Structures are given as structure tokens and as C-alpha cells.
Structure 1
């Protein structure tokens, strides 16, 4: 292990943005673990030495087991990237209570669970980095995504409260708010839908997952040691002013 190698945990790290973030930290020499809920992590993670732990962040017992496994194999978590999330889009009048509560349970309460558990070790070490993945939708709003937007907006208040609570212990807590990103989910859209989305973005394209990952790594770096409670948009200008 190099002197700069840290114990990093990325929730929801088996695909899309989470996978790119895990890959980025691993390639930089950090010890990286991911959580995943379903499916099997890609082989490339094992090749990079990434530890994959099955964990549903809506279950407190699974969260505790996952952290214990990570701590046994690579030490207490020094960098937490809370990326795991879900959506159940529906217009408000058609949205069930289950549609609403399940999204908040994963995106907001699930993030609370993993952050609370990770910061126990950070407080003992008197250092740490927490990066929460929100969304431009949490700042801008989106018709048919009231549940998702509420959960992602909630992360901002959560992070800024933690920044005030934990700053004296050299623990930073920041939020990244991506816009539309080129992932399997967006690639499944029709050409017409993709074109309509791109027209809203001043830079005229989707983000690459690597561009999100590089910003996460910056917020976890020594260069960002004096940044906390910030909301960093990586959205091609889509949400500017919000």
C-alpha cells in the first residue's frame, strides 16, 4: 500500500457513474470497495482489486455487515461516496405513497445510514471526506419526478448540516449535482428523447461518467481540503442559477 492509499467506499458502484468513480479511485492507487444491490459487478473491478460487497442500503443490518467487511479487508472508511439511488417517475396525481416513500428511503434515508456509519471511523481518525451524489433535478425540479427531486434536494440540507457538525474534526461533506450523463439508462432513451434533452444543455451534450468521477476525486483530495458544504454542478450549464 502506498503512503497516500486510502480506504474508499462507493455505494452503488457496480455500474454507471458509481462504476466510473470506483475505477477512478482504484486507478489512482486507493483501496476501493463498492456496494451493490442486484446483479454481479463487472470483472474489471476484480482486476483492479476492488472489493464488491452486496448491500441494500435500505436495510440497517446489511449496512452494518457491509462496513464490517470493508473495515476487516481495507481498514476504516476514509472516503465515502454515497452514490446508490433509484427513481420511480410518475406524475403527482398518479404517484402512490410507495412510489414516493421508496425513493426517499433509498436516496435520502439510505444515504443517512451509510454516512452515519462511515463518520464513526472518521471522527476517531479526525479526518475524512464525504461526497454525496445529488442531481440537477434536486435543484431545478422536473415534472414527473417530485419524489426523486425531493430526495436529491434533501441531500443538500443533509450535507450542509454535516459540514457544520463535522468540520472541526477535519471532515468535509460536499454534494455533486450531475446533469444528464451518458449511461445505460440514458442510452435506452429514444433518439427523439435524447435530442430533446440535449437541446436544454448549453454545452449541447451529455456528460461522460469519467467527468463526474474526476470531480468526485477532486472533492476527496487534499487540494479540496478547504471546501465543505458546497454543491458542485456538473451539468453542462443546465441548472445554472439554481
Structure 2
């Protein structure tokens, strides 16, 4: 048989994955995609009721209320998920918030809240997952960051800075855990059709305006001419979590239709 025609497993089926921010948007799409590939999935979110409803729509999945800013709560949920679903071998950190505003108008509370969730929250999750995976000698971590981490955005300094910190956090973890067989990668979406994205739109033509770009704000449009769907980002996450990416770590995969011109 021609070796090129052999279908190989992606290694996701039968594994347990934990996904934060999984009640809506990208996190929900990631959970659904992992389930479709045969994983057992622990969906977590600050909105416990919503994540429970989401988990009920998936096979072999459970929902857990989780505030990622609470390090002790992160430990408890990991422990409970492993008791109920099995050893977590895939961790996907998606939970995040956006409080837009120009730097001179950004409040101390908005700055702290953004970093509490987008950076410290991710640190709590990755540290917990990393300790467990390192001890077992296997695992895959994927952080959903943003293309704003790599290019300046007017009116989004807190968000961009928090995502830049999270991106480097993930890469440093990947370097430290490589010797333990644990891979850590980043997916950096651009504008994606989620509630967070729509909250930035002004009127019914919001998507068209994003695709066209905004020269006055020094922002390019989207060369591919479309807003991403959550599933587009989820597919990238699943690839990096899978054995098909077994020799990829510390990578930052942009899924933005070319919007940043890979600056």
C-alpha cells in the first residue's frame, strides 16, 4: 500500500480535554470540535449555568463553573474533572475579556480586570495543567490569544498588552516543559464573529467595516474578505492539540485572514 494513503489517528480520541471560556463563542466551538474528534471534554466558564447547558449538547462532556482568576478554584476544577472524566491531556485556555478604551481614558479597574482574566487567569490554568502534565510526561496546551498581541491597536491597549503577556507566558512554558514531552502553542485569532466582536460594531454594517479596515485608526482590513467563524479558530486549536502537530511547540499561529499582514 502507498504510505501516502494511510490514514493515521490524530491522537485526540479517548483523551480528556479541559477548555476554559467554553460557554460561548470560540471556547464553545473548541469544545464541540474536540468532542467531534472523540475527546472527553470538561467545559469551564464563569457562567456555570450556560456552560452546563452547552455541555449537555455534547457527547461525553461535563460543564463546570470556574472563575480563572481564583487559583484555588482552578485546582479544584482540574481535580474534579480528572476524577469524573479522566487525566487531562489537552488544555485549551480561551477565557478572556475585552474592555476597549484609549490609554488616557482607561481606568485602573479596567486595566486590573483585563489582566486578572486575560493574563493571571491564564497563568493559573497553564500552571495547573503544566504541573500535572509534566509529572506524567505528556500533554498539549493551547492558549487562544489574539493578533492584537503582535500589532498595536488604538483603543485596545489593555487587551493587546494582556494578550501579548499571555502569548509569551505560553511560549516560556513550552520551553520549560519541552523536556517533559509537553507541547505549548498559541492560536492568535483576528476579528471573529462572537459576542465580544459584535460589541465593538457600530450599526448593522459592523462586519463590513471590519473587513474594509480603518485607515484613520491605522488598522488594515482583512485580505481574505471575511470575518472568521469560531469554528475556523477551533480547527487551528484542534490541529495544535493533536498528534499531527507532535513536533510543534512554542508556535504562534495567526488565524486572521491576513489582517495583520503577519506584522
Q: Which 10-residue stretch deviates more, 189-198 or 136-145?
A: 189-198
DSSP 3-state at the match of 1:237: coil
1:112 pairs with 2:123: yes
DSSP 3-state at the match of 1:140: coil
Aligned twin of 1:235: 256
Kindly state the Cα deviation for residue 4 of structure 1 after the two structures are TM-superposed: 3.7
Correspondences of 1:132-211 after superposition (within 5 Å): 132-187=143-198, 189=201, 190-199=203-212, 200-211=221-232
Kindly state the Cα deviation for residue 169 of structure 1 after the two structures are TM-superposed: 0.9
Q: 1:223 aligns with which of 240, 244, 250?
A: 244
Aligned twin of 2:6: none
Q: 2:34 aligns with which of 25, 36, 44?
A: 25
Runs of 4+ in 1 over 4 A off after TM superposition: none
Kindly state the Cα deviation for residue 3 of structure 1 after the two structures are TM-superposed: 9.1
Q: Which 10-residue stretch deviates more, 34-43 or 152-161?
A: 34-43
Correspondences of 1:55-94 after superposition (within 5 Å): 55-94=66-105
Alignment RMSD (CA, Å): 1.6
Kindly state the Cα deviation for residue 76 of structure 1 after the two structures are TM-superposed: 2.3
Unpaired segments of 5 or more residues in structure 1?
Answer: none
Tell me the distance in 1 between the aligned counterparts of 2:198 and 2:169: 31
Query: With structure 1 as the length reference, what TM-score do the two structures score?
Result: 0.95
8 Å CA contact retained: 1:12, 1:36: yes
8 Å CA contact retained: 1:155, 1:175: no
Q: How many residues align?
A: 241
8 Å CA contact retained: 2:12, 2:243: no
Q: Which 10-residue stretch deviates more, 49-58 or 182-191?
A: 182-191
